[in-house]
C-alpha cells in the first residue's frame, strides 16, 4: 500500500461530544493499523475522557476558550495547527468532520489555500432536520461562507445512502464515498459478570428499554415519553442515559413528573467505559427515537451487544426490518407507540433471536478493519485516480 498522510480535523474527541468523537477516533485507529499515516487536529475539553488512540497517530490538541469547547476557538487556531503539521509532515488529504463551525471554515480555507484534497464528512449536519434547527443562523452562515466552503470540497464522506442523497439535494456534484461507521464487536460475558451495574434490574421482573445518546431535542425523547405513558408499560422500565445537550434535560425531568412516570423512567446521566457496557448488557431493548441521524453509531453498538433495536426512519437503519433484528418506524408519536407495542409483544425468545441476527449483521458489515480498507482505497483514488470504487456515488 502507498504510504499517504491523512489529517483528520474534528471538533472534539471528548466522550460528551456524542458519536463523532468515538467513530472518528476508531476510524483513525483502524486506518493507522491498515498502513496510513494518520494525524488528528482537534479541540478537547480537558474534563472529557478521550477514546484511546493508536500510538502511531499524531495528535494535535487545541484548548478551547471558556466552558464550551470547539466553537470558542478562533478560526486561526485550526489553520495555524494545520500549517505547523503540514510543514513538518506534509499532508496528502484532509478529512474534515462536521460543518457550520468556525473551525471547519478554517480547515476548508487552509486546504484551498494549499491546494490539498479535502474530504468533508458532514456527520449529519446537512440533514434537513439539522439545517432547520437554528435555521436563521445557518441561513446566514450558508450565505457568508458555508455554501462556498462545500463547493471547495474535493469529495464528501457520507455514512449512509440517505446522507448522500441529502448532499445531492443541496446541489453538490462532487464524488461521495458512502462508507458507514463501524464498531469493535464486544465480547459477551456471562450473566454473573454483569452484576453491580449502575443500571441494575428492578425487582427482577422488569424488563429494560435503554436509550443511550446525547439528551438533545433531535433525539425525540418527548415522543418516547408520551408513547410510554399512553401504553402504560407495565413490566418494563425505561432507562435514559446520556449527557445533557442544549439544556434539554430539565424539559424531560418536567415531562416525566407531569406524566407521573417517575416509577417507570430513570435518568442516569452519562455512562462511559464499564458502566456503559453494563447498561447495554442489562437491557432487553434499545430505543433511539431520533428525528434525524446520519448513521446512529449507538444502533450498531446495541446490535453488537445482541440487543434488538427500535429506531425511526429518520435513521438509516432499514436493515432492522430486512434482517429482522428490530423495528423501524416513523418518527412520530404514533410510530413510536406502534414500535413499542410490537417490541413489548415479542416473547423473550423472539427478542433474543433478533439480537443474535443483529450481532451477526454487525460482524458481517460493520467492523472497522473492512471499513478502513474502503476508506484507504477512497483516499488513494482521490490522489492517484484509476477505477472508481463501487461505494463512490
Cα–Cα nearest to 156, from 386, 382, 358, 347:
382
- Are 15 and 154 found together in one domain? yes
pLDDT at position 75 is: 53
pLDDT at position 13 is: 82
Task: Could you list the beta-strand ranges (E) of 203-355.
Answer: 207-212, 236-241, 265-269, 285-288, 309-312, 326-329
Assigned domain for 36 exists: yes
The helix, strand and coil proportions of the chain, stated in percent and rounded to the nearest 5, come to 45, 20, 35
Per-residue pLDDT tens digits for 179-235: 999 999 998 876 555 555 544 554 457 899 999 999 999 999 999 999 999 998 779
> What is the CB-side half-sphere exposure of residue 363 using CA atoms within 13 A?
10
pLDDT at position 213 is: 93
- Compute the distance between CA of residue 227 and CA of residue 339 in angstroms, rounded to an integer: 10
Q: Mean pLDDT over all residues of the chain?
A: 89
Map residue 342 onto helix, strand or coil: helix
DSSP summary character for residue 175: -
- Compute the distance between CA of residue 270 and CA of residue 197 in angstroms, rounded to an integer: 14
Full-model pTM: 0.85
At residue 300, φ and ψ (nearest 5 deg) are -60, -40
Task: Could you list the beta-strand ranges (E) of 304-372.
Answer: 309-312, 326-329
- Are 170 and 310 found together in one domain? no
pLDDT at position 69 is: 42
- Compute the distance between CA of residue 154 and CA of residue 386 in angstroms, rounded to an integer: 16
Assigned domain for 308 exists: yes
Kind plus residue range of the DSSP H or E element containing 178: strand 176-178
Assigned domain for 393 exists: no
- Are 178 and 201 found together in one domain? no
Query: Is the predicted pLDDT of residue 320 greater than 50, yes or no?
Result: yes
At residue 252, φ and ψ (nearest 5 deg) are -70, -40
Contact 95/157 with Cβ under 8 angstroms?
Answer: yes
Assigned domain for 52 exists: yes
Percentage, residues of the chain above pLDDT 70: 89
Q: How much is the average pLDDT of 358-380?
A: 96
pLDDT at position 71 is: 46
- Are 117 and 212 found together in one domain? no
Query: Is the predicted pLDDT of residue 258 greater than 90, yes or no?
Result: yes
- Are 342 and 380 found together in one domain? no
pLDDT at position 70 is: 44
- Are 91 and 200 found together in one domain? no
Assigned domain for 389 exists: no
- Are 203 and 94 found together in one domain? no
CA Rg value for the chain: 21
- Are 240 and 275 found together in one domain? yes
At residue 269, φ and ψ (nearest 5 deg) are 80, -175
Per-residue pLDDT tens digits for 151-162: 999 999 999 999
Which three three-digit cell numbers place residue 207?
424488563
With a CB cutoff of 8 Å and minimum separation 6, the contacts of 126 are: 99, 163, 166, 167, 170
- Are 231 and 314 found together in one domain? yes
pLDDT at position 2 is: 52
Assigned domain for 390 exists: no
Contact 357/324 with Cβ under 8 angstroms?
Answer: yes
Say which CATH number the domain at 91 has.
3.40.50.2000
Q: Between 221-231 and 249-259, two packed helices, what is the crossing angle to 10 degrees?
A: 10
pLDDT band at 48 (very low <50, low <70, confident <90, very high): low
Query: Is the predicted pLDDT of residue 74 greater than 80, yes or no?
Result: no
Q: Between 348-365 and 297-304, two packed helices, what is the crossing angle to 10 degrees?
A: 120
Find the domain containing 138 and state its range.
5-182+367-384
Per-residue pLDDT tens digits for 260-300: 999 999 999 999 889 999 999 999 999 999 998 988 899 99
Assigned domain for 392 exists: no
pLDDT band at 67 (very low <50, low <70, confident <90, very high): very low
Assigned domain for 391 exists: no
- Are 252 and 360 found together in one domain? yes
Quote the number of domains for the chain. Answer: 2
Query: Is the predicted pLDDT of residue 125 greater than 50, yes or no?
Result: yes
- Are 198 and 324 found together in one domain? yes
- Are 204 and 76 found together in one domain? no
Q: How much is the average pLDDT of 293-320?
A: 95
Place of cell 472508481: 388
The number of residues making up the chain comes to: 393
Q: From residue 227, give the alpha-carbon distance in Å to each of 2, 209, 298.
A: 53, 13, 21
Amino acid at each position: 500500500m502507498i504510504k499517504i498522510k491523512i489529517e483528520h480535523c474534528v471538533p472534539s474527541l471528548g466522550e460528551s461530544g456524542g458519536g463523532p468523537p468515538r467513530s472518528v477516533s476508531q476510524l483513525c485507529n483502524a486506518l493507522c493499523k491498515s498502513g496510513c499515516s494518520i494525524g488528528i487536529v482537534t479541540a478537547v475539553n480537558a474534563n472529557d475522557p478521550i477514546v484511546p488512540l493508536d500510538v502511531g497517530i499524531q495528535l494535535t490538541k487545541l484548548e478551547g476558550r471558556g466552558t464550551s469547547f470547539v466553537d470558542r476557538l478562533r478560526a486561526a487556531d485550526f489553520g495555524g495547527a494545520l500549517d505547523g503539521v503540514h510543514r513538518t509532515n506534509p499532508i496528502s488529504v484532509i478529512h474534515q468532520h462536521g460543518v457550520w463551525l468556525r473551525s471547519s471554515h478554517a480547515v476548508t480555507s487552509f486546504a484551498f489555500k494549499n491546494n490539498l484534497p479535502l474530504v468533508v464528512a458532514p456527520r449529519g449536519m446537512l440533514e434537513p432536520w439539522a439545517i432547520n434547527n437554528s435555521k436563521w443562523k445557518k441561513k446566514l452562515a450558508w450565505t457568508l461562507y458555508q455554501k462556498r466552503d462545500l463547493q471547495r470540497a474535493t469529495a464528501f464522506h457520507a455514512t449512509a445512502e440517505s446522507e448522500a442523497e441529502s448532499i445531492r439535494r443541496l446541489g453538490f456534484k462532487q464524488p461521495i464515498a458512502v462508507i458507514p461507521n463501524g464498531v469493535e464487536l464486544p465480547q459477551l460475558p456471562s450473566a454473573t459478570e454483569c452484576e453491580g451495574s449502575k443500571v441494575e434490574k428492578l425487582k427482577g421482573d422488569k424488563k429494560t428499554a435503554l436509550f443511550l445518546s446525547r439528551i438533545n431535542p433531535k433525539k425525540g425523547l418527548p415522543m418516547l415519553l408520551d408513547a410510554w405513558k399512553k401504553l402504560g408499560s407495565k413490566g418494563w422500565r425505561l432507562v435514559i442515559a446520556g449527557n445533557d445537550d442544549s439544556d434539554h434535560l430539565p424539559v424531560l425531568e418536567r415531562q416525566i413528573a407531569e406524566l407521573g412516570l417517575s416509577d417507570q423512567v430513570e435518568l442516569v446521566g452519562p455512562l462511559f467505559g464499564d458502566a456503559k457496557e453494563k447498561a447495554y448488557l442489562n437491557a432487553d431493548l434499545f430505543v433511539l427515537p431520533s428525528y434525524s441521524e446520519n448513521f446512529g453509531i449507538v444502533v450498531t453498538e446495541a446490535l453488537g451487544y445482541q440487543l434488538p433495536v427500535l429506531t425511526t426512519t429518520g435513521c438509516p437503519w432499514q436493515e432492522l426490518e430486512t434482517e429482522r433484528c428490530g423495528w423501524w418506524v416513523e418518527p412520530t408519536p404514533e410510530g413510536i407507540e406502534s414500535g413499542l407495542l410490537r417490541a413489548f409483544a415479542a416473547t423473550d425468545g423472539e427478542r433474543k433471536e433478533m439480537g443474535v441476527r443483529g450481532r451477526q449483521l454487525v460482524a458481517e458489515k460493520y467492523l472497522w478493519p473492512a471499513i478502513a480498507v474502503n476508506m484507504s482505497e477512497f483516499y488513494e483514488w482521490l490522489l492517484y485516480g484509476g477505477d472508481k470504487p463501487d461505494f463512490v456515488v
